[in-house]
Amino acid sequence: MARWRFSLSLFLLATLGPWLALADHSFENTAIVRTVELGGALVHITTTYAVKALEDGSAVYTIALGDDEHEKTSWLEAKIKGQSAVLPLEKVGYDPKTDIHYYAVELSKALKANASTNLVVETVQTHATYPWPEEAGQKDGQSLKYETDLLVLSPYVTSVQRTKIRSPSPQVHSYTKPEGLEAFTLEDPVTKSGSTLTYGPYKNIPQSTTEDFVQERQQHVTIHYSCDYPVIEVTKLTRTAEISHWGANLNIQDNVHLHNGGPRLKGHFSRLEHQSSAYFGRQPPHIIPGLTLHLPAGIHDVYYYDLIGNVSTSHLRTAPSVPKGSQNNQFSVLELKPRYPILGGWNYSFTLGWDTPLGDSAGWDKESGKYVVGVPVMTTIPGTVVDVAEVKIILPEGATDLEFFPPFPAAMNELSTHVIYLDTIGRPTITLHYNQLTDQHAGVIYVSLLVTYKVPFSAHLKKPLAVATAFLGTFVLAFAWKRIDTRIQRQK
């Protein structure tokens, strides 16, 4: 579909945003299935819309998100079921009366009347769960609560919809049993099977984005479940990638501020109890004893230290370097063990860095005379949310014609100069600021921030000439000193 038609559709949708509930009749939902995978810091939601076009040429489908859901969502992606191509998606409006946010999805091809397709929308929510009870003893378990809207909102009529909520463990302490749904179902509104709760099926739901429907029909459900792994949050991540042409090296350094988002420790911490539970393999689920990180292949000179100094409790298994651009499934595995186990509510800050050959990440394009470098945005800690991330790329001194291509938009971009060893004018630095990053953002094989730049040959000589100038200054001083008579008594 031509890009201008999509833009025109978006323009129309944007201007008619508040009236979408009444105006848009080009689709009908034959079925909506929402699957919620509960976790600790992250909740993965997959919503499958079985849509049927009511008019010829229907190509833009509108998704509605409630305000609460929108606030927690940090990743939103739409695909056609069975296809890998990601569909263009754009925010088109917000209705302040219903607090609903609208997103338009451009289908890969327009549908004819009565044709149907399955649209899969994946979202990742952050900080959607909270510990309950809020405090727990060192030996106690960990339980979380998750709240969500019962019905999936849509500006289209829906024949049937259901929501499946999967808990990570079979222990579900309690869940909401909704009432007043006789208009949509005569059966039990919620059923439980093992660790899966199924809300629905609810049938014949009208356009649910109207003010009346949201106020009278929408309900809130809460699930209280047991979580058998710690809730890991990174409150701040600062990644610095420094490129050196002289050393053919790419140094990546992460400053990580880690937080355990589980229940706060009730009482005191007992080292004896901790050692005992570790020895017998009965580690409580809310304690973070260590982390296992998958770092790039080919790294060397890895360092790990915190505020006190070097932390020696780590184990690294490196993978050999792989050529740039080749398919690589190998990672270097680093097992970190902080100085102390991180209990609920506790924080730990550390610095982790490594060097890699620049040839594994950067290339030279002879045609344009530009270098192209790819820097991973972050290292994935599975199931972890990164609240604030700052990714800084320090380019060689004298780099020009900078262009950067992030895999997803940043909240803010900055350009600055970084001065370090042997620099004269300083190194150009690109800084990108991100919020609420998840493992989806990191990608399966480290989605990279791409930067292109030029470095003239003369720029490479800046450092040696700067040092040579300093040496020459010393020689000039020596030259002058030789010609000054510093004797106390002059010879007659």
Contact (CB, 8 A) for 257 and 233: no
Q: Report how far residue 275's alpha carbon sits from residue 66's, in angstroms, rounded to the nearest whole number.
A: 46
For another protein, the closer CB: 50 or 243: 243
For residue 492, CA distances in Å to 106, 489 come to 99, 9
What DSSP string describes 370-392?
Answer: EEEEEEES----TT-EEEEEEEE
Q: Which stretch binds another protein (CB under 8 A): 82-90, 179-187, 252-260, 275-283?
A: 82-90
For residue 185, CA distances in Å to 19, 162, 193, 201, 391 come to 28, 11, 19, 7, 50
CB of 399 to another protein, least distance (A): 8
For another protein, the closer CB: 182 or 367: 367
Burial per residue of 71-83, b for 16 or more beta-carbon CB atoms within 10 angstroms, e otherwise: ebbbbbebbbeee
By CB under 8 A, what part of segment 409-428 binds another protein? 409-415, 417, 420-422, 424-426, 428
Strands 385-394 and 232-244: parallel
- Count of residues making up the chain: 492
Strands 42-53 and 89-95: unpaired
Q: Could you tell me which residues come within 8 angstroms of residue 61 by beta carbon, excluding any fewer than 6 positions away?
A: 27, 49, 51, 104, 105, 107, 119
CB of 322 to another protein, least distance (A): 11
Contact (CB, 8 A) for 299 and 354: yes
Under the binding rule (CB under 8 A), the answer on residue 245 touching another protein is: yes
Under the binding rule (CB under 8 A), the answer on residue 249 touching another protein is: yes
The site string for another protein over 344-383 (x = CB under 8 A, - otherwise) reads -----------x--xxxxxxxxx----xxxx---------
Q: Report how far residue 220's alpha carbon sits from residue 304's, in angstroms, rounded to the nearest whole number.
A: 45
Under the binding rule (CB under 8 A), the answer on residue 7 touching another protein is: yes
Q: Of these, 475, 485, 486, 492, which contacts another protein (CB under 8 A)?
A: 475
CB of 121 to another protein, least distance (A): 11
Q: Using CB under 8 A, count the residues that bind another protein.
A: 91
CB of 84 to another protein, least distance (A): 12
Q: Which stretch binds another protein (CB under 8 A): 133-141, 228-236, 309-317, 476-484?
A: 476-484
For another protein, the closer CB: 22 or 477: 477
By CB under 8 A, what part of segment 263-322 binds another protein? 301
Q: Of these, 34, 70, 274, 392, which contacts another protein (CB under 8 A)?
A: 70
Q: Which stretch binds another protein (CB under 8 A): 261-269, 306-314, 329-337, 398-406?
A: 398-406
For another protein, the closer CB: 279 or 481: 481
Amino acid identity, residue 85? A
Q: Of these, 308, 444, 478, 480, which contacts another protein (CB under 8 A)?
A: 478
Under the binding rule (CB under 8 A), the answer on residue 244 touching another protein is: yes
CB of 220 to another protein, least distance (A): 21
Helix (H) or strand (E) holding 11: helix 3-15
Under the binding rule (CB under 8 A), the answer on residue 469 touching another protein is: yes
For another protein, the closer CB: 54 or 402: 402
Q: Report how far residue 385's alpha carbon sits from residue 128's, in angstroms, rounded to the nearest whole number.
A: 11
Q: Which stretch binds another protein (CB under 8 A): 39-47, 48-56, 70-78, 198-206?
A: 70-78
Q: Of these, 54, 89, 311, 319, which contacts another protein (CB under 8 A)?
A: 89
Under the binding rule (CB under 8 A), the answer on residue 140 touching another protein is: no
- List, in sequence order, the alpha helices (H) in 254-397: 271-279
Q: Of these, 8, 86, 278, 445, which contacts another protein (CB under 8 A)?
A: 86
CB atoms within 10 A of CB 353: 18
Select from 237, 244, 261 the least CA-distant residue to 301. 244
Q: Of these, 35, 80, 91, 229, which contacts another protein (CB under 8 A)?
A: 91
Burial per residue of 32-66, b for 16 or more beta-carbon CB atoms within 10 angstroms, e otherwise: bbbbbebbbbbbbbebbbbbbbeeeebbbbbbbbb
CB atoms within 10 A of CB 220: 11
Under the binding rule (CB under 8 A), the answer on residue 401 touching another protein is: yes
Under the binding rule (CB under 8 A), the answer on residue 402 touching another protein is: yes
For another protein, the closer CB: 35 or 251: 251
Q: Report how far residue 363's alpha carbon sits from residue 349's, in angstroms, rounded to the nearest whole number.
A: 34
By CB under 8 A, what part of segment 25-44 binds another protein? none
